Amino acid sequence: MLEYVLIFLGAALPWFEIALVIPLGIVTGLNPLLVILVAFIGNMATILALIFGYDKFKLWLAKRQEKQNKREDRARNLLNKYGLPGMVLLGPILIGSHIAAFIGMTLGATKQATLVWSTFSIGAWSLAFGVLTALGFDFFTN
């Protein structure tokens, strides 16, 4: 049970997310379906908090002006090039799903659109990371 709590927490943290915790969970011998599900829920929990807490965060951010980091610049470029769907779909592998959702909302995406595309993206990537890791792990252990 503790392992699944750690999967949940790892998926909820920006920069760990599903791309890291799903393969780690499966490679350590946990049930791939449970790992995928728990990681999806963990990642979505913080995405939901970000989306619905965005207005308060935006006020805090307006008070604090700092240089943008490379990930934010990459996210802006992705949004300009591919729109919200493309940026959020590529987010988990290029900049992180949290940053992709945040930048999308910062640049005017609605909460509903961000939620829909984030849910689809995190679900698809969770399945992809889980299936590919399980298949690859089975390939190397057999």
SS3 sequence, 45-83? HHHHHHHHCHHHHHHHHHHCCCCCCHHHHHHHHHHHHHH
Residue 131 amino acid letter: V
Q: What is the pLDDT of residue 11?
A: 92
Q: What is the pTM of this model?
A: 0.69
* 79 contacts 103 by C-beta, under 8 angstroms: yes
Residue 57 amino acid letter: F
Q: What is the pLDDT of residue 140?
A: 59
Q: What is the pLDDT of residue 138?
A: 66
Domain that holds residue 36: 2-141
Angle at 96 between CA 137 and CA 99, to 5 degrees: 165
* 91 contacts 75 by C-beta, under 8 angstroms: yes
Q: What is the pLDDT of residue 112?
A: 94
Q: What is the pLDDT of residue 57?
A: 77
Positions of the chain with pLDDT under 50: none
Q: What is the pLDDT of residue 3?
A: 93
Integer-rounded Cα Rg, in Å, for the chain is 16
Least Cα distance to 88 among 60, 62, 124 occurs for 124
* 19 contacts 125 by C-beta, under 8 angstroms: yes
Domain count across the chain: 1
Q: What is the pLDDT of residue 68?
A: 55
Q: What is the pLDDT of residue 87?
A: 83
